[in-house]
Structure 1
Amino acid sequence: MEVTVDATRDPSTRDGAEVARHLAVDPATGLASAEAERRLQRDGPNELRAKAPVPMWRKVVRQFQDPLIYLLLVAVAISTAAWLAEGATGAPIDALVISAIVALNGALGFIQESRAEAAVKALQSMTAATSTVLREGQLRTVPSRELVCGDILVLNEGDAVGADARLLTAAALRLSEASLTGESEPVTKTAATLPDHLPLGDRKDMVFRGTSVVQGVGRAVVTATGMDTEVGSIAEMLEATREDPSPLQKEIASVSRLLGLTVIVIAVVVMIVTALVNEISTFGHLVTVLLLGVSLAVAAVPEGLPAILSVVLAIGVQQLARRNAVVKKLHSVETLGSATVIASDKTGTLTKNEMTIQCIRTASGEVELTGAGYRPEGTALAGGRELSDPALTREAGMVLAGGCLANNAQLTSRDGEWQIQGDPTEAAFLVAAHKLAGTVDRARQFERRGEIPFTSERKMMSTLVSGGDAGTAVVVKGAPDVLLSRCVAVQVGDEVVPLDPVRRAAASADVEELSAQAFRTLGVAYRWVDDPDTCGPLDVADEQNLVYVGVAGIIDPPRPEVAQAVAEARRAGVRVMMITGDHPTTAARIAEDLGIVGRGAPAVTGAELDTLSPGQLQDVTATTSVYARVAPRNKLQIVDALQARGEVVAMTGDGVNDAPALKSADIGVAMGITGTQVTKEAAKMILADDNFATIVAAVRQGRAIFDNIKKFLRYLLSSNMGEVFTVFFGVVFAGFIGITTTSGEAIVVPLLATQILWINLVTDSGPALAMGVDPEIDDVMSRPPRRPTDRLIDREMWRGIVFIGLVMGFATLLTMDIFLPGGLVEGSDSLDVARTAGFTTLVFAQFFNVFNSRSETTSAFRHLFSNGWLWASVGLGVALQIAVVQLPLLQTAFGTVSMDLAHWAVALAMASTVLWFDELRKLALRALRRSGTPATERTSRS
């Protein structure tokens, strides 16, 4: 007989016994093992659908799917064709070098992504989840992946729920559903059938996969497994969520397209001009012109850019990993740097997810308790000073002791870490008791003799405790309004006085004030038992004529480091938003404490979002920073609305309900400790320590990386532009400068193709890579995030690139003119000597340009020696250039000749003009900015 759940009926609206009959299972005995195996074979394991593993060959190919890589591969093809046309003599150096760079880039990307995948797997639990089920009348523990529809789940305190199920019985059953709904407080469950279909968080007769039991016991029949569970439906949303390229990927693609077009134009123009200026009479001449065009194409393209970009991003990833942040994709680091909004979950992300008693109100006043979380450290204060009032001390101690006695939680320490078992709210009393001297000892005098458990209907819990000579008492903890209705007296110091209307009103006012401050309130009352020997089993009749002691204010406190991180984000122009499933009052209070919003700022609920049009939603997200009682679809709506406004959104979270929004965001950040597996898979970055401050540190790191990317782009492009201008103007004005053909050359060129290649080898990779790890020169968090419309290379930067390129070209050609006969300056050296001097000038000019490029406006002499790697790369380059000029073997390979000291001095002096001209340009830019017209504003208006 085929048994399935009726998809047209919500199990929460059907009687539990009816659901069991429909699933052909006897709740008293459970499924037979054979039947469970048959259903497992039919329906498949209780697992979320996993993506098919990506083959290694596809991962490798993916590293080369980049526009700039395509451009380099075209350059390899052209270079190889030119080498073949020239007769295939020697090695195709151009093609081999570019191919090696392409391969290096692919290897770096593959290795880094493999490391990230391994780190993510290491964060996942190494033990398989298990569930207790009833099969053939026996309790059995089975892997949760083997649960099937119809299994009878047996739920106990501390259990993780392995599948969606309809409750059959429930005794004081409370579950934590924070990972699914975002609700921070445990939810009371009941087997009573619901009258109508309700939202997920209000289905009190259902338990869901991914939640956990914090109190009580119960039994439930499994109604959905795998992708049919509520978690599975969120996973379906996740699969349908579109993932866009990062801003940096878009920018690099745009730059690559621009460079590709520029290269084609430059190569064609130079080849045409060269052909027109020189007499092309043989096929050899044609090959020379073609090789010159290919060499210029290589010069114009910073072929080291992909590899350098990957290395710089990988170094940034490693730096973040040392700060407990695992980045799965290299480009995600930069994306964080351009984030304009951090949309964060509350529970477990901004808060500790550890309920804490922060204040106690009694008849004699208020006691404040310092410390947060489950570590029992802190002090008791009154009015900001150490608690000293005997009456207030007595009353507060009785509140905490009573809360510890009417309590089923446990607080333990393991390896210095404090952990709880049971209801987090009850555990809060155990922690708070350590902060008031003598309270723990007072509670330990008593032993429990009976209990009436907490239920959602009663809203309180009672215990019968006996302390020998101390006496026997009924201790009650629960909702203050319920307790007050059963109290006839109030504790005032050591005395018990009647609870007259004035004192009753004062106690109610205390509760209202704490509730208005977003505290969850629990009152404590007691009654002494006169004759303990005649006291029978505890029952509800004993919960009358109580003495009211006071009320505790409980809250899930913010993480201590988050407020500072929020302030740092705001200083950097990054807006922090809270999106939570918690109560609006609680959400607004936490947001106010953290500095996310000002006092009195409202929280918008998910129900209110559902009534808004897309346009209205965009308006709301522009002004509102706190959202409460939201469903997973609302989180997606908020992220999409922000992105539609042009925001770059970083979304943080830990629960299953956060996963779709994390994937849709520009960068999703999952919690590594409390985060669910689904969330970690959806995120681009995982915080191994669940520390929100790490996100802000990553924003700083991302901005610094972006600055360094601009630095080496400025350097590479301006230096390569200098090579292009040198060759182009050298060919066009060859006669004017004095460059004439020699007997051994087919056509006249200012630089040989091998010399152009050498310049790229010596000047591109080393210095550019050193600039990629340049320390932060300016405070990157003192400026607003770059807008999505801002270009990686804006007009101001392009002007600087062209300017430096022209200065380089001018300095190089003027150096050649100085040593050549004729031209503007009369010289007496051969073309080989002049070309070697110009070649050296261009190399040294690029080394000077290294220091220029560290900032668009800041002087090169500021923080001149802060980057040792930069000086090392320049020193190595200088040594290699001396070698290529002076060593006979390299002279033959690169067409150079030895130079005397005078030639070296002129080359160095002419190369330094790049530094001095750029210092003058920066001085002018700084003057303009001081006058109140920032370059960025001029650029945006131009």
Structure 2
Amino acid sequence: MTMHLRTARPVADTAPEVDAREPVSRLLRDLRTDVTGLTAREAARRLQVSGPNALPSRGGAKWPLALLRQLIHPLALLLWLAAALAWFAGTTNLAIAIVGVVVLNGLLAFVQEQQAEKAVEALGRYLPDRAAVLRDGSVRHVPATEIVPGDVLVLAEGDRVPADARLVEGTLDVDASMLTGESAPVTRMADVHDDATRPLESPVLVFSGTVCVAGAAHALVHATGRHTEIGRIASLSARVGREESPLERQVRRVAWLIAGVAVVVGIGFLPLGWLAGLSWSAAFVFAIGLLVANVPEGLLPTITLALAAGVRSMAKEGALVKRLSAVETLGSTTVICTDKTGTLTRNAMHVEEVRDGLGEPPADSGVLASSLARCSTADLASESGDPTELALLAYAAGHGIALDPAVRKALYSFDPRLKRMSTVDLVGGSLFVATKGAPEQVVPRCTSALDASGAEVPLTGALRERIIERVDEMAGRALRVLAVARREVPSVPGSRDDAESDLCLLGLVGLVDPPRPEVAAAVADCHSAGITVHVVTGDNGLTAAEIARRVGIGADRVISGDELARMPEPALDEALTAGGEIVFSRAAPEDKLRIADALRDCGEVVAMTGDGVNDAPALRRADIGVAMGVGGTDVAKEAATVVLTDDNFATIVAGVREGRRVFDNVRKFVLYIFAHAVPEVLPFLLFAVSGGMIPLPLTVLQILAIDLGTETLPALALGREPAEPGLMSRRPRRRSEGVVTGRMLGRAWGIMGLLSGILVLGAFFAVLAAAGWHPGADVSAGASLHHAYLQATTASFAAIVFCQIGTAFASRTERVSLRAVGLTTNRLLLGGIVFELVFAAALIYLPPLQSLFGTAALPAWVIALMLPMPVLVWGADELFRWATRRH
């Protein structure tokens, strides 16, 4: 049963319904052409029908709406509300500053979103500008965009294929890694039987965007533009949208929570203020004060700066982050789907093992290395040629042997059907034939073998069986095995068959693309962090599984692309949730996309690595797409949110560590900000509940001075907190777990907030009591107790500042003690506390600021009363964390 190469749905009726893998004569009939190509007139007519050979560009983005979305999400709306309240309260400069923060953050997010939409545009760079085709019976070089179905391409070494085509004449070696993910070039021949199970593996088809690395051929175009394989991937990339990251969703929830609390408290204060004897206008002003007290104006810039710091830190590790929230997403990753070639491995073939002619470890590899150096067409100096040949030349160079082209007398190039190549060289006055190739092709042409002593022994049936067993054993360890043989001849043989007969088997060479040395430790870190690692590659399953095991990935099961295609969704979900690690081999673009979708549906946070064009849809679909910066295509880099500058799996793990640290720090400064809501709101509630008998312990301007003055720098410093011990030894958090947790609220409001509120009110009442105040006494301007009242509100303000210091130190750790991270390890926090104290002192003791903020100088005994407050607040939380660690 033939398979139809319909790689994309037809647009209108311009795509001919053809089977590109049917016999050439039938394909020529279906495309209404012949092996001499089209006429120029017919090509022009078809161009009008089928359209240009170009990938469709997406419609122009409605950028005003995209920008508007960045300015009206909940957190931005919350800040707009804060700006409006600040404007209403008469603090115009504050309102302008908040608006500036909202607009700047919106512009940054908008630019990042637009950059992420360039993946489809980058695909077009894989199409050549011009291509050689047969027109009117002769070779013409035409713009690649004018190629149409029915054209006959003239392809040679170094050409990039401009359209999907079927070979009708010749042989090509094609680098199709950008589509298949397989590192080794593949051979395509016009006159072979097509028994492949997938179009991408067909031995007679070449695809748009791939590169011819050797050979020459004529190929019949059957698909152009959006109907090509690369066009189908472009369609997949265009359809796959980007979802919110876990942090973006959680920040949205936090914003709604804060907004809800602020509005409820503000509205709820109106009747309380009126019942307390205030006029409606005065009650409304105090309600605004409560709203301002509950709106953390610095939350969004603090989160942005924390993420930006994470981006800078990851850049130093070798990971360039294109979207700020991707830093946190990496930290919440539960599954990494990694490519093999270039990510787990070095992307450089290497001679792993050498055996002598009898399959045993050789005593001397000089003769074999010399034959390898001669039997090659690669150039080690310029690193040009087939990667396997370069690895063999490097091995020979390691034995002090270099290739001398002057000694070559004849060359029998590598023949894909014979799977071997040979050279005839003049060595020491004698002519030698050197042959290398697949063992099943070379060994049968050998009549003798070189043993460990260097002597030739006849190849008996038993020895041949031993050699075959050794080849099978080496191949089972994912080695690519080549046989090397030679023969001395009196003169240059008259034919290839004469040259490649009566050979002496010199030995077997096993090559492998070795794992990066640092990957094993990185995989171990993943496992200790509760992260599962799957390998998703276009390469051979046996090879990929062996490399996975070498670096510590379980490889409990190998699932090929064909097996995956037959696997229903429940079976795939079961395989992914069974607890083991899987190697997905021969993965097609749809396979990677399907795996990412299945993992996400199973509740996993997925990081998907890739470097080829075929990876683009999955990179966009995964929670975090990670592209290779050195060996990756531009398409993959545009589709991904993180680009590795060193193509190293270990860098991904460093990113996970940094992402976890950043998320922890977001929680720390949210905890720090939340803890101050109680001591800011409690004085207002006490004033209202007392019916005005107790004067207001804090003013609106003093609250603003706390929220945007004393609180900001310590909060920013908490965003740069170093990682807690054991960061990579805990399980990833659940996707549903928010920034704000019940434990956090308990610490913020029930422990630090409540204790701070009690201490603040204690300082307020202590100052009033020392002046002889009693409930209901007049403290208005002109009254005898007015100065004492100013000192009392100033004491409340100062007490909150001192409690903030204790809160800042307590917020530095989630569970471990402060001693575990060190008192002075966060220098920025220490600097922020110094600024906080200096700022508060200026408000309290400088006369111009006293009149603006309603403060008065405090006596020494009041300051002494507040000195233990930081220790009390920190100590209460430290005791709570100690108790939870014990239980």
TM-score, normalising length from structure 1?
0.85
Q: How far apart are 1:698 and its partner, in Å?
A: 0.8
Whether contact under 8 Å (2:710, 2:835) holds in the other structure is no
Q: How far apart are 1:35 and its partner, in Å?
A: 6.2
Q: How far apart are 1:194 and its partner, in Å?
A: 5.2
How many Å separate the matches in 2 of 1:663 and 1:105? 23
Whether contact under 8 Å (1:113, 1:328) holds in the other structure is no
Q: How far apart are 1:358 and its partner, in Å?
A: 1.0
The runs of 5 or more residues in structure 1 that have no matched partner are 84-89, 368-390, 414-418, 741-748, 934-942
How many Å separate the matches in 1 of 2:116 and 2:616? 19
Which of 624, 630, 633 does residue 673 from structure 1 map onto?
A: 630
1:220 aligned partner, one-letter code: A
Whether contact under 8 Å (1:119, 1:326) holds in the other structure is no
**Residue 340 of structure 2 is aligned to residue 346 of structure 1:** yes
Q: 2:21 is paired with a residue of what secondary structure?
A: helix
Please give the per-residue CA displacement for 1:843-877, whole angstroms capped at 9, x wherever unaligned. Answer: 23223322221113344465222222222222222
How many Å separate the matches in 1 of 2:796 and 2:571? 64
Which of 12, 15, 27 does residue 21 from structure 2 map onto?
A: 12
Please give the per-residue CA displacement for 1:871-915, whole angstroms capped at 9, x wherever unaligned. Answer: 222222222221222222222221222333333333x33xx4253
**Greater mean deviation of Cα atoms: 673-682 or 251-260:** 673-682
**Residue 809 of structure 2 is aligned to residue 851 of structure 1:** yes
1:47 aligned partner, one-letter code: A
**Residue 396 of structure 2 is aligned to residue 433 of structure 1:** yes
How many Å separate the matches in 2 of 1:686 and 1:795? 36
How many Å separate the matches in 2 of 1:127 and 1:220? 16
Please give the per-residue CA displacement for 1:4-41, whole angstroms capped at 9, x wherever unaligned. Answer: 986322212130x5545655656447664x76666556
**Greater mean deviation of Cα atoms: 837-846 or 105-114:** 105-114
How many Å separate the matches in 1 of 2:848 and 2:657? 48
**Residue 619 of structure 2 is aligned to residue 612 of structure 1:** no
Q: How far apart are 1:405 and its partner, in Å?
A: 3.0
Q: 1:63 is paired with a residue of what secondary structure?
A: helix
**Residue 637 of structure 2 is aligned to residue 630 of structure 1:** no
Q: How far apart are 1:522 and its partner, in Å?
A: 1.2
Please give the per-residue CA displacement for 1:398-449, whole angstroms capped at 9, x wherever unaligned. Answer: 3333334333333234xxxxx332x322232222211223x326x6673142
1:929 aligned partner, one-letter code: R
The runs of 5 or more residues in structure 2 that have no matched partner are 1-11, 778-783
Q: How does 1:354-503 map to 2 (within 5 A)?
A: 354-363=348-357, 366=360, 392-393=363-364, 396-413=365-382, 419-421=383-385, 423-437=386-400, 439-440=401-402, 446-456=407-417, 458-463=418-423, 465-467=424-426, 469-492=428-451, 493-503=453-463
**Residue 170 of structure 2 is aligned to residue 170 of structure 1:** yes
Distance 1:921 1:317, change over 3 A: closer
Q: 2:505 is paired with a residue of what secondary structure?
A: strand
How many Å separate the matches in 1 of 2:645 and 2:64? 30
Whether contact under 8 Å (2:144, 2:162) holds in the other structure is yes
**Residue 539 of structure 2 is aligned to residue 577 of structure 1:** no
How many Å separate the matches in 2 of 1:481 and 1:238? 43
Q: Counterpart in 2 of 1:153?
A: 153
**Greater mean deviation of Cα atoms: 857-866 or 821-830:** 821-830
How many Å separate the matches in 2 of 1:123 and 1:226? 11
How many Å separate the matches in 1 of 2:879 and 2:805? 21
Q: 1:346 is paired with a residue of what secondary structure?
A: coil
Distance 1:452 1:708, change over 3 A: closer
Distance 1:347 1:143, change over 3 A: farther
Distance 1:190 1:760, change over 3 A: same
2:874 aligned partner, one-letter code: D
1:838 aligned partner, one-letter code: S
Q: 1:650 is paired with a residue of what secondary structure?
A: strand
Whether contact under 8 Å (1:770, 1:869) holds in the other structure is yes
Q: How far apart are 1:723 and its partner, in Å?
A: 0.9
**Residue 8 of structure 2 is aligned to residue 48 of structure 1:** no
Q: How far apart are 1:329 and its partner, in Å?
A: 1.3
Q: How far apart are 1:93 and its partner, in Å?
A: 5.8
**Greater mean deviation of Cα atoms: 49-58 or 186-195:** 49-58
Q: How far apart are 1:923 and its partner, in Å?
A: 2.5
Please give the per-residue CA displacement for 1:263-322, whole angstroms capped at 9, x wherever unaligned. Answer: 121112222222212x24xxxx32221121122112112121111111211222222233
**Residue 557 of structure 2 is aligned to residue 602 of structure 1:** yes
Distance 1:895 1:733, change over 3 A: same
Which of 852, 858, 877 does residue 921 from structure 1 map onto?
A: 877
Q: How does 1:548-559 map to 2 (within 5 A)?
A: 548-559=505-516
**Residue 866 of structure 2 is aligned to residue 893 of structure 1:** no
Whether contact under 8 Å (2:307, 2:324) holds in the other structure is yes
Whether contact under 8 Å (1:333, 1:702) holds in the other structure is yes
Q: How far apart are 1:182 and its partner, in Å?
A: 2.4
How many Å separate the matches in 1 of 2:91 and 2:651? 50
Please give the per-residue CA displacement for 1:80-111, whole angstroms capped at 9, x wherever unaligned. Answer: 5x55xxxxxx6546644543442343355457
Whether contact under 8 Å (1:112, 1:314) holds in the other structure is no
Q: 1:726 is paired with a residue of what secondary structure?
A: helix
Distance 1:131 1:766, change over 3 A: farther
Please give the per-residue CA displacement for 1:761-784, whole angstroms capped at 9, x wherever unaligned. Answer: 113322211211222242422222
Q: Counterpart in 2 of 1:509?
A: 469
Which of 723, 727, 730 does residue 680 from structure 2 map onto?
A: 723
Whether contact under 8 Å (2:275, 2:691) holds in the other structure is no
Distance 1:184 1:94, change over 3 A: closer
How many Å separate the matches in 1 of 2:722 and 2:124? 34
Distance 1:127 1:452, change over 3 A: closer
Please give the per-residue CA displacement for 1:147-174, whole angstroms capped at 9, x wherever unaligned. Answer: 4434433322333323211112123x22
Please give the per-residue CA displacement for 1:722-749, whole angstroms capped at 9, x wherever unaligned. Answer: 21223223432476xx734xxxxxxxx2
2:225 aligned partner, one-letter code: G
How many Å separate the matches in 2 of 1:801 and 1:894? 27
Distance 1:123 1:291, change over 3 A: farther
**Greater mean deviation of Cα atoms: 624-633 or 98-107:** 98-107
Aligned residues: 861
**Residue 525 of structure 2 is aligned to residue 518 of structure 1:** no
Q: Counterpart in 2 of 1:103?
A: 103
How many Å separate the matches in 1 of 2:874 and 2:834? 22
Q: 2:759 is paired with a residue of what secondary structure?
A: helix
Distance 1:848 1:453, change over 3 A: closer
How many Å separate the matches in 1 of 2:617 and 2:660? 26
How many Å separate the matches in 1 of 2:310 and 2:105? 16
Q: 1:255 is paired with a residue of what secondary structure?
A: helix
Q: 1:467 is paired with a residue of what secondary structure?
A: strand
How many Å separate the matches in 2 of 1:511 and 1:77? 77
Please give the per-residue CA displacement for 1:568-618, whole angstroms capped at 9, x wherever unaligned. Answer: 2222222211012222211110111111117xx431222222333322212
Whether contact under 8 Å (1:25, 1:31) holds in the other structure is no
Q: Counterpart in 2 of 1:540?
A: 497
Q: Counterpart in 1 of 2:4?
A: none
How many Å separate the matches in 2 of 1:192 and 1:36? 27
How many Å separate the matches in 2 of 1:606 and 1:269? 62
**Residue 742 of structure 2 is aligned to residue 795 of structure 1:** yes
Whether contact under 8 Å (1:763, 1:847) holds in the other structure is no
Q: Counterpart in 1 of 2:7?
A: none
Q: How does 1:776-791 map to 2 (within 5 A)?
A: 776-791=723-738
How many Å separate the matches in 2 of 1:323 and 1:47? 38
1:855 aligned partner, one-letter code: T
Distance 1:4 1:151, change over 3 A: farther
Aligned-CA RMSD value: 3.2
Q: Counterpart in 1 of 2:329?
A: 335
Whether contact under 8 Å (2:158, 2:213) holds in the other structure is yes
Q: How far apart are 1:690 and its partner, in Å?
A: 1.6
Distance 1:823 1:565, change over 3 A: farther
Whether contact under 8 Å (2:335, 2:605) holds in the other structure is yes
**Greater mean deviation of Cα atoms: 795-804 or 267-276:** 267-276
Q: 2:380 is paired with a residue of what secondary structure?
A: strand
User: Aligned residues: percent identity?
Assistant: 38
Distance 1:308 1:605, change over 3 A: same
